[in-house]
Amino acid sequence: MPLENRYDNIYDIIIIGGGPNGIYCLNTINNCFPDKTIGLIEKSTIVNNIKQYPNILWHNGLNALCFDSENKNINRHPTTKEVINYYENYFINNNLKFIKNEVIDIINNEDIYKIVLKDNELLSKYVIISTGIYENIKYLNIKTDYPYIKYSFIDLETKNKNLVLVGGGNSAIDYVINLLPFNKITWIIRGKYCKNSAHLNKLREIMKKYNHNLFLYENTIIQEFYENNTLKLSNGININNIDHCNILIGYSNISNLITKLGIENNGDIINIDNNYQTSRKNIFVFGSISSQTNDIVYIHNGNPHRLKNIINFIKNN
């Protein structure tokens, strides 16, 4: 019996990941291929990763985050709650649906993929992975499994604590802006903090006003953490009496699924061609997971120019 006849759930195109790029991809491809069967798989809820973020101002304006022209002239920075509301309303207003399940594996068989889910199986010729990067946290290569250490944002209501922050990117900048007025922060950066942040002026204002609360160590790394809420820097300085240490050093494009599929990569970068196709035929990556060296992919109106390459490839094949 042919493989296609052994399953009821047969699709032409499956999209994995229900973040902003995933739902934009679904709606756009639905409109481009009205005669094809298209599905979106999300293991949790729509834009679930964004829901894990604190309610802070985003670095992009609404005009860069929205998928249509209704907000093209609004460049103010929205809060996390506003961003979530926009994407959820977009999903509802476009009558989109998703399959709530987790992808365990993708197996090739006779020019079609069997997508193994946690409690089901689907078939699809094309697979677009748009899972984002925010679950693929980068870790320090030293022992960090102590109760006072977290690889995540701290509660913004935290006050009167001795905090340690590791990392110099946009998340670290948001951390300092929101928490420095109410806490003492030791900020440790391997190099220097991000100088192209949209919130850089606000950061400098906060650092100047609350400089008595900030201890900044640049061009150094943590040599070792200790159980007694203490750490040692490579410059020989010890930091004691730590209430919370938050490590925000970025993310990798290489998820567990990418690794399991044996998709070729170069460190943290997935190898792709001009159509965003991976080393596995007819498996594409879209959104932040498709970032390349010196080419970081953000939401940016759904990245239509990138999705166009994938759509054209499918049309021509």
Q: What is the pLDDT of residues 234-272, one digit of tens each?
A: 999 999 999 999 999 999 999 999 999 999 999 889 999
What would the pLDDT profile of 29-70 be if each residue is shown by its tens digit? 999 999 999 999 999 999 999 999 999 999 999 999 999 887
| CATH class given for the domain over 3-136+251-316 | alpha beta
- How many Å apart are CA 264 and CA 270, to the nearest integer? 6
Q: What is the pLDDT of residue 3?
A: 38
Q: Percent of the chain scored above 70 by pLDDT?
A: 97
Q: What is the 3-state secondary structure (H, E, C) of the chain?
A: CCHHHHCCCEEEEEEECCCHHHHHHHHHHHHHCCCCCEEEEECCCCCHHHHCCCCCECCCCHHHHCCCCCCCCCCCCCEHHHHHHHHHHHHHHCCCCCEECCEEEEEEECCEEEEEECCCEEEEEEEEECCCCCCCECCCCCCCCCCCEECCCCCCCCCCCEEEEECCCHHHHHHHHHHHHHCEEEEECCCCCCCCCCCHHHHHHHHHHCHHHEEEECCCCEEEEECCCEEEECCCCEECCCCEEEECCCECCCCHHHHHCCCCEECCEECCCCCCECCCCCEEECCHHHCECCECCCCHHHCHHHHHHHHHHHHHC
The structure's pTM equals 0.92
Residue 161 is predicted with a pLDDT of 98
* pLDDT recorded at residue 14: 98
Domain boundary assignment for the chain: 3-136+251-316, 149-247
Q: Given this model, what pLDDT does residue 70 score? A: 79
**Residue 168 exposure: Cα atoms within 13 Å on the Cβ side:** 15
- Amino acid 111: pLDDT: 85
Average pLDDT score over residue span 167-186 = 97
Residue 195 has pLDDT above 80, yes or no: yes
Give percent above pLDDT 90 in the chain. Answer: 89
Q: What is the structure's pLDDT at 8?
A: 64
User: Model confidence over 204-243: pLDDT tens digits?
Assistant: 999 999 999 999 999 999 999 999 999 999 999 999 999 9
Residues 6 or more apart in contact with residue 72 via CB below 8 angstroms: 63, 66
1, pLDDT greater than 90: no
Query: Phi first, then psi: what are they for 4, rounded to 5°?
Result: -60, -25
Q: Is the pLDDT of residue 6 over 70?
A: no
Residue whose structure tokens are 């069997």: 114
Q: Does domain 149-247 have CATH number 3.40.50.300?
A: no
